[in-house]
């Protein structure tokens, strides 16, 4: 599989002022494979230490002398280690988080040695560590499931990927370049496949090899079981039952404002809040916070008590809801549940993969809670110095009263809609309650352009 993060990792490897790199991301998103593939592509010898599999390997780092550490590792493996010819990979480092503090000595005294650390549940450590982190001496990179375009590449559809990347809105703002019907239908079919298969590498590989949803379904159940097995590691922080409550609630509440009372009315909201926090640290859940959208940065106005929640991967959502069954690949999956909840998951997951790899993704939406006139716009995107509201519609049509209201209130020049229809650009007139009219440009894009949104906004 071609991962879009790989050129970034190669660039890091060749930086003259390279720092040790910490890879963050949920279990099974491909962190270990990326490091191994990086070493293969670059012709580097990989020195891989899995701290969970061999806990005694942490004793290599009882000293702060990088030269002695490498010497001892070389003695153990029976090899001569040349720092500039190897990559030192510390996998499952969350088992011995104190090793993160040692990374500063590699940064200061042996910068010629590329060092990468990774681990599942690593963010538990980073959220509450009792050791001195090497601030300013390490770099972070965030790994997400495969994007839709990466999924196309895994399906050997590089031609469609090239089409998406070369598509231009066109010179006439009122008439974007038309997508041929045969290509539109083909891309929408892959969108539906992505809904059921998702972007976790093992599920994608299974689908590419077999084209049998029943095998993908089995793989995804194994993945779900793997995540649930991790619940035992949360003990001491919270009872596993509360984590189970959140685990089962998230797929069912996609696209809906989060209400703890709807999850388990017999449990205090504080314990459910803590459980959601733990699953967020594990990168299984991703809150989308409400924001007044009255200025940048969006995070400054985020309302932490009002939010929605996305799951790690849309394929796992489909399986958790029981929709990954043979024959359902032909139906419009977006209309199956939650009135478009899967559509919001698709777009939100795509937006997360659009962030620079060194930035931790964070999503926001707009809502107005007013008796008798509540309103909500699915996502807010910071694009340069602009705020771009994004509306998501499961089908090809749908009313957008909330979007019109927001645009009239803020006076912004443009907005985006994702749906299943062809691209279009229209001038919309929105009216405020005091009868003032505001015109804005609405860029409507089919779901398969989610990875090209930033470029198309620049072009617009």
Residue with tokens 């029981």, as numbered in its chain: 322
Beta bridge partners, 437, equal 431
CB 399 within 8 A of CB 340: no
Alpha-carbon distance of 366 to 360, in angstroms, equals 20
- pTM for the whole structure: 0.93
CA-to-CA separations, 459 to 56, 164, 166, 387, 428, in angstroms, rounded: 55, 14, 12, 16, 20
pLDDT for the residue 337: 47
Alpha carbons 366 and 379: distance in angstroms, whole number = 7
Give the pLDDT of residue 171: 58
- How many CA atoms within 13 Å lie on the side-chain side of 183? 16
pLDDT at residue 28, as a whole number: 95
Give the number of other Cβ atoms within 10 Å of residue 384's Cβ: 10
**Residue of 141, 81, 135, 89 lying closest to 108 (CA atoms):** 135
**Distance (Å, whole) CA 264 – CA 242:** 9
Task: Identify the architecture of domain 6-142 in CATH.
Answer: 3-Layer(aba) Sandwich (3.40)
Instruction: Report in angstroms the alpha-carbon separations of 397 from 186, 335, 359, 393, 400.
Output: 20, 12, 34, 7, 10
pLDDT digit string (tens) for the chain, length 460 residues: 899 999 999 999 999 889 999 999 999 999 999 999 999 999 999 999 999 999 999 999 999 999 999 999 999 999 999 999 999 999 999 889 889 888 989 999 999 999 999 988 888 777 766 666 777 789 999 999 999 999 999 999 999 999 999 999 875 555 678 999 999 999 999 999 999 999 999 999 999 999 998 899 999 999 999 998 888 776 666 778 888 999 999 999 999 999 998 898 888 899 999 999 989 999 999 999 999 999 999 999 999 899 999 999 999 999 988 875 555 555 455 555 455 899 999 999 999 999 999 999 999 999 987 766 689 999 999 999 999 999 999 877 778 899 999 999 999 999 999 999 999 999 999 876 666 788 999 999 999 999 999 999 998 8
The values of phi and psi at residue 48, to 5°, are -105, 120
Please report where in the chains the tokens 């990326």 appear, as a residue.
34
Contact 260, 273 (CB under 8 A): yes
Q: Residue 145 to residues 174, 201, 204, 350: CA-CA distances in angstroms?
A: 35, 7, 10, 10
> What pLDDT was estimated at residue 365?
97
Q: How many residues does the chain have?
A: 460
Distance CA 242, CA 238 (A): 7
Hey, what's the torsion of the CAs at 335, 337, 341, 345, to 10 degrees? -90
Distance separating alpha carbons of residues 11 and 6, to the nearest angstrom: 9
Residue 327: its pLDDT value, please? 55
**Strand 21-24 relative to strand 386-392, pairing:** unpaired
**Model pLDDT, residue 436:** 73
Distance between CA 86 and CA 82 in Å, rounded? 7
Show me where the domains of the chain are located.
6-142, 148-459
Q: Spell out the SS3 assignment of the chain.
A: CCCCCHHHHHHHHCCCCCCCEEEECCCCCCHHHHHHHHHHHHCCEEEEEECCCCHHHHHHHCCCCHHHHHHHHHHHHCCCCCHHHEEEEEECHHHCCCHHHHHHHHHHHCCCCCEEEECCCHHHHHHCCCCCCCCCCCEEEECCCCCHHHHHHHCCCHHHHHHHHHCCCCCCCCCCCCCCHHHHHHHHHHHHHHHHHCCCHHHHHHHHHHCCHHHHHHHHHHHHHHHHHHHHHHCCCCCHHHHHHHHHHHHHCCCCCCCHHHCCCCCCHHHHHHHHHHHHHCCCEEEEEECCCCCCCHHHHCEEEEEEEEECCHHHHHHHCCCCCCCHHHCCHHHCCCCCHHHHHHHHHHHHCCCCCCCCCCEEEEEECCCCCCEEEEEEEEECCEEEEEEECCCCCCCCHHHHHHHHHHCCCEEEEEECCCCEEEEEEEECCCCCEEEEEEEEEEHHHHHHHHHHHHHC
Q: Where do we find the tokens 């309650």?
A: 433
Residue 347: name the closest of 453, 421, 259, 250 by CA: 453
């Amino acid at each position: 599989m071609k991962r879009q993060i790989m050129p970034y990792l190669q660039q890091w490897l060749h930086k003259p002022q390279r720092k040790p790199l910490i890879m963050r991301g949920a279990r099974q998103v491909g962190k270990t494979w990326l490091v191994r593939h990086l070493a293969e592509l670059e012709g580097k010898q990989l020195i891989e230490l899995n701290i969970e599999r061999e806990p005694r390997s942490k004793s290599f780092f009882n000293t702060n002398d990088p030269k002695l550490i490498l010497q001892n590792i070389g003695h153990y493996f029976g090899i001569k280690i040349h720092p500039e010819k190897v990559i030192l990979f510390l996998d499952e480092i969350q088992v011995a988080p104190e090793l993160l503090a040692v990374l500063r000595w590699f940064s200061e005294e042996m910068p010629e040695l590329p060092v990468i650390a990774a681990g599942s549940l690593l963010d538990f450590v980073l959220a509450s560590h009792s050791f001195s982190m090497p601030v300013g001496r390490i770099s972070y990179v965030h790994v997400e499931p495969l994007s839709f375009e990466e999924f196309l590449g895994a399906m050997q559809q590089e031609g469609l990927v090239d089409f998406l990347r070369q598509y231009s809105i066109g010179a006439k703002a009122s008439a974007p370049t038309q997508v041929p019907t045969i290509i539109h239908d083909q891309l929408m079919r892959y969108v539906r496949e992505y809904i059921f298969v998702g972007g976790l590498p093992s599920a994608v590989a299974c689908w590419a090899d077999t084209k049998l949803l029943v095998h993908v379904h089995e793989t995804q159940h194994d993945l779900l079981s793997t995540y649930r097995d991790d619940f035992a590691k949360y003990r001491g922080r919270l009872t596993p039952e509360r984590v189970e409550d959140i685990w089962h609630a998230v797929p069912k509440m996609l696209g809906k404002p989060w209400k703890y009372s709807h999850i388990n009315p017999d449990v205090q909201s504080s314990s459910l809040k803590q459980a959601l926090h733990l699953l967020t640290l594990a990168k299984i859940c991703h809150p989308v916070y409400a924001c007044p959208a009255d200025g940048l940065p969006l995070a400054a106005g985020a309302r932490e008590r009002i939010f929605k929640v996305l799951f790690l991967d849309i394929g796992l959502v489909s399986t958790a809801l029981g929709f990954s069954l043979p024959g359902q690949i032909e139906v419009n999956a977006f209309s199956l549940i939650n009135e478009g909840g899967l559509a919001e998951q698709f777009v939100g997951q795509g937006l997360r993969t659009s962030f620079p790899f060194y930035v931790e993704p964070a999503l926001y939406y707009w809502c107005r809670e007013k008796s008798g006139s509540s309103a909500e716009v699915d996502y807010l995107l910071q694009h340069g110095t602009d705020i771009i509201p994004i509306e998501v519609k499961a089908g090809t049509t749908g009313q957008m009263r909330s979007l019109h209201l927001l645009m009239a209130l803020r006076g912004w020049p443009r907005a985006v809609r994702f749906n299943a229809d062809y691209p279009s650009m229209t001038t919309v007139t929105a009216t405020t309650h005091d009868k003032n009219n505001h015109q804005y440009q609405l860029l409507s894009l089919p779901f398969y352009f989610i990875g090209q949104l930033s470029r198309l906004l620049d072009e617009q």
